[in-house]
Chain A
Amino acid sequence: MIFLYVYVHGNPPPLCLPANPGDKWADFKEVIRNMYKVNPDQVEMTHFDEPFQPQDDKTLAELGIRQKSLLKIKA
């Protein structure tokens, strides 16, 4: 298990979410959709401060997400 932080701009504080590095992005993005009521397919995202454009069939680990990664979302 890793912890991931998700911040939607203008909505402090960011959420701390547990995740499995083997989870597919397609599954994890549903957590974001439920928690923040945003459409994860139509937002601008950064991983830390790097642009982040995940593919649904990749795992979190394959996307470079690691322990305490920070995803920032501009909805």
Chain B
Amino acid sequence: MAKKKRGLKEEYNLLTRDLDWDPTFVTREEMYPYTDFEGIKIHNWNNLEDPFRVTVESYVRIQGEKERKFHAIRENIDLLQGQLDMTDARWLEAMKIFSSVALNGEYNAHRLFQFIARHVPSPAIRFAAITQSVDELRHVQNEVLLFNNYNKYYQGFHDWKNYAHRHWLTSVVKSFFEDAQSAGPFEALVAIAFGFEVAFTNLLFVTMGATAVANRDQSYGAVSFTTQSDESRHMTLGMMALRAMIEEDPDNIPIVQKFLDKWFWKAYRAFTVVGYILDYIAPKKVMSWKEAYEMYIEDQVLNGLFKDLEVYGIRKPKYWEQTVQEKEHNSHIAALVLYRLPHVLYFHPFAPTEEDKKWLAEKYPESWENIWSKKWEAFEDPNFDRLYPGLPMVCQTCQYPMFFDEPGQPGFNTAFRTSEHEGEVYHFCSDGCKDIFDDEPDKIKQAWLPPHEIFKGTCGPAEDLANYWGMEPEDGGDYYESVDHQNFEKWKKVRA
């Protein structure tokens, strides 16, 4: 008699939650030492479900198909030799930032999901976290291959590992993930599944992916779409875990609210550089940071997701009003400050062209003419000393240089906040970053701040700093004076 085929639910139970066991050599508390660390109360661990019911068999089959498709596209793109159909090689400045920032993030997300898989005592979450960890490694590998392709023709793609681990700018995203990795398992889950994936990841893989395609860069388009297909699974699990925590016990609500406040703010700050990419770097622009923020964060997260959570007593994350106000300004501040740092960046910053300025004026009617176009005018004056003269002061929490404005006072009116702890003063760019420190000063005081470490000599001799960061002399400097720009123009002419 033919064997009866098992149903999906039975298969899922057998291969995931039925593999769970009660320990006999050690106590359950010894096996899961961090379960009570954050005060989250879960009464029935089986209430935490993986909505996708992923099993090893289905996971391997689906991911295998995605990989085959992705690599077929990637190998074809390799044959395009430098992608001369791109609108301009300037687009690749975005990819250089992405190379260092996202790779760092994805690799650390893989470690973070391993931590969650080990320490959350729910078989469904543990299994889903293992598959998510493998997803993150897949993303890292695909992104390394992407840079391998660009690296054959363009500068600044040869040392993503050192940029990701050592460069002062990537310290922003490194500190984000290291904070999450060294939190308890529930906070770690909220940090990555909510802060990064539910709230902000659309901006990275949907908006930026669409922008890559509009600029005829097929490589990143392919990477972002295959990555985003995993992210949507992660988002669903993240939402399930969030709801389960909220529904399991009313005592969890203030704890979860604190996690949401912290990680919304941290992810928001970390994503500042995406605004710079959308508004400034992309030669052909699809959507401004302001428009993307309105669509993905205001409509979907603040007025969508948080509306649904209101019934549980969860409110919108602290300082959300400030984020909405800043959507007019922060991409301009970041672009202006980075413009002054071409000597210490592994990508090429530049001033917007006349065409870029026209677009910016149209997209930012309230702030461009009155504030930011005037700042660019001053910065482009031949008498202006473009190069920033030293190392910047950075925020203790988000680690961005201190360039964010006082709320409601845009136009280089830098905000300063301080806290005293054990007789030492700590500086912050905002109330959001200060609150995070004040809640856990003994943790955040340990932050590895690049300017301090450079002066202390941790990064080697000052004259050899570029080498420490993995930079070659051609990697920095203005885009319009770069080898990349010259080559792209030359190769296009040869091909024509």
- Footprint of B on A, CB under 8 Å? 1, 3, 5, 7, 9-18, 34-37, 48, 66-70
Residue B391 at the chain A interface, CB threshold 8 Å: yes
Interface size on B, as a range, is 20 to 34
Q: Give the docked Cα–Cα distance between A3 and B452 (Å).
A: 8
Query: Is the CB–CB distance between A13 and B455 below 8 Å?
Result: no
Contact status of A13 and B452, CB under 8 A, knowing A7-B414, A35-B390 = no
Query: Is the CB–CB distance between B393 and A15 below 8 Å?
Result: yes
Residues of B within 8 A of A16 (CB): 390-394, 451-452, 455
Contact status of A15 and B390, CB under 8 A, knowing A48-B418, A68-B426 = yes
Secondary structure type dominating chain B contacts:
mixed
Query: Is the CB–CB distance between B392 and A14 below 8 Å?
Result: yes
Q: How far is the CB of A18 from chain B (nearest CB, A)?
A: 5
Q: How far is the CB of B365 from chain A (nearest CB, A)?
A: 23
Q: How far is the CB of B402 from chain A (nearest CB, A)?
A: 5
Residue B389 at the chain A interface, CB threshold 8 Å: yes
Residues of A within 8 A of B390 (CB): 15-17, 35
22 pairs from A and B in contact (CB 8 Å cutoff): A1-B455, A3-B451, A3-B452, A3-B455, A5-B393, A5-B402, A10-B413, A11-B412, A13-B392, A13-B393, A13-B402, A15-B393, A16-B392, A16-B393, A16-B451, A35-B389, A36-B389, A67-B424, A68-B425, A69-B425, A70-B393, A70-B418
Query: Is the CB–CB distance between B414 and A12 below 8 Å?
Result: yes
Residue B427 at the chain A interface, CB threshold 8 Å: yes
- Footprint of A on B, CB under 8 Å? 333, 337, 385, 389-394, 401-403, 412-414, 416, 418, 424-427, 451-452, 455
Contact status of A13 and B337, CB under 8 A, knowing A68-B425, A68-B427 = yes
Query: Is the CB–CB distance between B401 and A12 below 8 Å?
Result: yes
Q: How far is the CB of B60 from chain A (nearest CB, A)?
A: 48
Query: Is the CB–CB distance between A68 and B424 below 8 Å?
Result: yes
Q: Give the docked Cα–Cα distance between A61 and B366 (Å).
A: 46
Residues of A within 8 A of B452 (CB): 3, 16
Q: Give the docked Cα–Cα distance between A66 and B390 (Å).
A: 20
Q: Give the docked Cα–Cα distance between A16 and B453 (Å).
A: 11
Q: How far is the CB of B458 from chain A (nearest CB, A)?
A: 13
Query: Is the CB–CB distance between A14 and B414 below 8 Å?
Result: yes
Besides the contacts A3-B452, A18-B455, A70-B393, what 12 more A-B pairs have beta carbons closer than 8 Å? A7-B416, A10-B412, A12-B402, A12-B412, A13-B393, A16-B392, A16-B451, A17-B390, A34-B389, A66-B425, A68-B425, A69-B425
